[in-house]
């Protein structure tokens, strides 16, 4: 039965080369990439055999090996994987659970990632072949590493196929994964700045000292402990690795038994009662469009995924500025204006998000000013508390309450400048966007250079118009505090001029270009 599972997996891999040419090209590229990684890793592991500093080799392997195990465990769970050998596909064959779980586990050894893992794990035996006992420990550890990674991958894939069955759950998982990757960026930047020649080994040693006793690094650490003469520590770490494999096997066996008798998750249809925002906002067309926009921003993944990402963007900038040596009190002035910048810019293509539904505004004779003002209601509702709370937090972080009016004025000016310009660009330069009902992570293929040009121009136009306020803020901080009083006045003048000017121009354009907007929506709907 195991041979049949292995043969099935091999046939599935072979059939992958019968797809479209571009898919075959991607597969070949993956094979080549895996081969290059394997050759480089094996060469490094064999060369490590000649290194006399056993502790340094041990620390490097434990840290890198722990990252590999974490990748096998987390990547399928965060991003989701199309499992070609999903246990539920074998539910009608009447196979015993233990036979099915064993066969599917061994079939997991067939694949490019597993092949790279097996070869590299075998190469670690060469790395630690310094004496007979260490070689035996390295051989056992290599088997445990492969078993741990394959089991972790199978468990996380099974959980992902069960938990991420609906599109909404996959989008939520994608958001979490993206946030984790973004939050890892500061760590990567920090690693880049480390003086590895002086402090690198110390940092690795500190990380390896605790990773070596975790399920992630115990199997990688045992051969190094044996090579350094601490056989007792090596045996204890092997015991941790064996316990990890045993626990993962039990979880995998239970998962197989569970998914065989559990129906796939279905997307729940949420029942909404009442009229929602339409009942809260009373009035004419402007209030109706504002209510519709608030509903979209709360329910449509295309909006809330973008909103979730906005507060994370300043993390990159803050870390980069701190690593560049800029004083922390100056860096504290950056996050709030940056959040307001992206919040105001977020509606620069709002008309395209409506798709063909925008015809309701056109055929009903809705005035352009009602459409323009109504669409700005959600970012204003979000922006007011963000600016109020963020300005106080920024002032506290900076340590001088004299900058509070200037920070609030600058942030507000950036927000309303972005909203004013977006009122023009969303009518004058719409470009294809993700269609209503599609995943927030899909992008239309027709969105090319024109989309990038519109995004760039609208983004940098906000920065250009807000630059006088930024200049006065800088002058007030480094030259004379007098300019801190000028900056809010300039911010109010420029901000409201751009907001009302953008609303007026956008309304005129919407009234005149209704047929063009509808033609665009029809082409890309």
> pLDDT digits over 221-267, tens only?
999 889 888 889 999 999 999 999 999 999 988 888 887 777 665 65
> Poorest-confidence range of 39-48, 196-205, 297-306, 369-378?
196-205
224 by DSSP, 3-state: which? Answer: helix
* Two structure tokens written together for 502: 């953008």
Question: pLDDT-based confidence at 38, cuts 50/70/90?
Answer: confident
Give the per-residue pLDDT at 145. Answer: 93
CB 347 within 8 A of CB 426: yes
Question: pLDDT-based confidence at 164, cuts 50/70/90?
Answer: low
Higher pLDDT, 481 or 443: 481
State the DSSP string of 400-438. Answer: -GGGHHHHHHHHHHHHHHHHHHHHHHHHHS----PPTTS
Higher pLDDT, 189 or 341: 341
The most confident of 48-62, 303-317, 335-349, by mean pLDDT = 335-349
Share of the chain above pLDDT 70, in %: 83
pTM of the model: 0.64
Query: Does residue 455 have a pLDDT over 70?
Result: yes
Query: Does residue 30 have a pLDDT over 60?
Result: yes
Give the per-residue pLDDT at 448. Answer: 47
Mean pLDDT along residues 109-117: 83
Give the per-residue pLDDT at 1. Answer: 64
Higher pLDDT, 139 or 257: 139
Q: Where are the alpha helices (H) located in 268-403, listed in sequence order?
A: 277-280, 285-299, 301-309, 313-323, 328-331, 335-345, 350-354, 359-363, 368-375, 377-398
Question: pLDDT-based confidence at 159, cuts 50/70/90?
Answer: confident
User: How high is the mean pLDDT of the chain?
Assistant: 82
Rounded distance, CA 231 to CA 225, Å?
7
Rounded distance, CA 351 to CA 374, Å?
12
- Between CA 375 and CA 385, with CA 379 as vertex, the angle to 5 degrees is 145
Mean pLDDT along residues 18-23: 66
Query: Does residue 450 have a pLDDT over 80?
Result: no
The most confident of 166-170, 299-303, 390-394, by mean pLDDT = 390-394
Give the per-residue pLDDT at 76. Answer: 77
CA atoms within 13 A on the CB side of 205: 10
Give the per-residue pLDDT at 345. Answer: 92
> Poorest-confidence range of 83-97, 103-117, 350-364?
83-97
Query: Does residue 196 have a pLDDT over 80?
Result: no
Mean pLDDT along residues 141-152: 92
Mean pLDDT along residues 79-95: 70
């Amino acid at each position: 039965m195991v041979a049949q599972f292995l043969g099935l997996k091999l046939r599935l891999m072979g059939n992958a080369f019968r797809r479209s040419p571009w898919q075959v090209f991607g597969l070949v590229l993956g094979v080549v990439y895996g081969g290059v990684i394997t050759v480089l890793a094996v060469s490094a592991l064999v060369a490590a055999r000649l290194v006399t500093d056993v502790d340094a080799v041990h620390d490097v392997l434990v840290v890198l090996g722990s990252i590999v195990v974490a990748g096998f465990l987390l990547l399928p769970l965060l991003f989701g994987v199309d499992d070609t050998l999903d246990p539920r596909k074998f539910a009608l064959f009447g196979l015993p659970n233990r036979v099915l779980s064993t066969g599917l586990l061994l079939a997991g050894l067939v694949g490019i990632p597993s092949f790279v893992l097996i070869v590299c794990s075998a190469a670690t035996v060469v790395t630690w072949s310094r004496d007979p006992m260490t070689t035996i420990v390295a051989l056992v550890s290599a088997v445990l590493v492969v078993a741990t990674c394959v089991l972790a991958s199978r468990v996380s894939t099974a959980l992902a196929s069960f938990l991420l069955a609906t599109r909404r759950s996959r989008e939520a998982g994608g958001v979490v994964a993206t946030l984790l990757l973004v939050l890892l960026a500061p760590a990567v930047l920090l690693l880049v700045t480390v003086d590895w020649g002086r402090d690198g080994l110390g940092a690795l040693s500190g990380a390896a000292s605790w990773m070596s006793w975790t399920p992630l690094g115990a199997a990688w650490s045992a051969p190094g402990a044996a090579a350094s003469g601490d056989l007792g520590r090596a045996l204890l770490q092997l015991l941790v690795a064996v316990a990890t494999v045993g626990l993962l096997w039990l979880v995998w066996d239970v998962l197989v038994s569970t998914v065989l008798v559990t129906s796939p998750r279905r997307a729940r249809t949420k029942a909404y009662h009442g009229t929602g925002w339409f009942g809260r906002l009373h009035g004419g067309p402007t209030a109706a469009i504002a209510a519709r926009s608030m509903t979209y921003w709360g329910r449509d993944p295309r909006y809330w995924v973008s909103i979730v990402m906005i507060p994370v963007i300043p993390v990159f900038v803050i870390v980069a500025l701190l690593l560049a040596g800029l004083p922390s009190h100056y860096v504290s002035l950056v996050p709030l204006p940056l959040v307001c910048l992206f919040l105001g810019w977020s509606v620069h293509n709002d008309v395209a998000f409506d798709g063909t539904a925008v015809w309701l505004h056109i055929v009903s004779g809705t005035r352009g000013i009602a459409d323009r003002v109504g669409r700005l209601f959600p970012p204003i509702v979000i922006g007011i508390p963000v600016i109020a709370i963020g300005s106080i937090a920024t002032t506290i972080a900076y340590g001088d309450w004299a900058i509070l009016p200037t920070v609030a004025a600058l942030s507000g000016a950036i927000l309303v400048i972005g909203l004013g310009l977006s009122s023009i660009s969303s009518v004058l330069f719409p470009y294809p966007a993700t269609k209503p009902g599609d995943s927030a992570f899909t992008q239309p293929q027709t969105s090319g250079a024109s989309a990038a040009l519109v995004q760039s121009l609208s983004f940098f136009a906000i920065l250009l118009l807000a630059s006088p306020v930024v200049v006065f803020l800088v002058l007030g901080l480094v030259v004379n505090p007098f300019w801190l009083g000028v900056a809010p006045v300039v911010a109010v003048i420029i901000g409201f001029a751009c907001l009302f000017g953008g609303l007026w121009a956008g309304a005129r354009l919407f009234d005149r270009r209704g047929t063009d907007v509808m033609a665009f929506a029809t082409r890309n709907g």
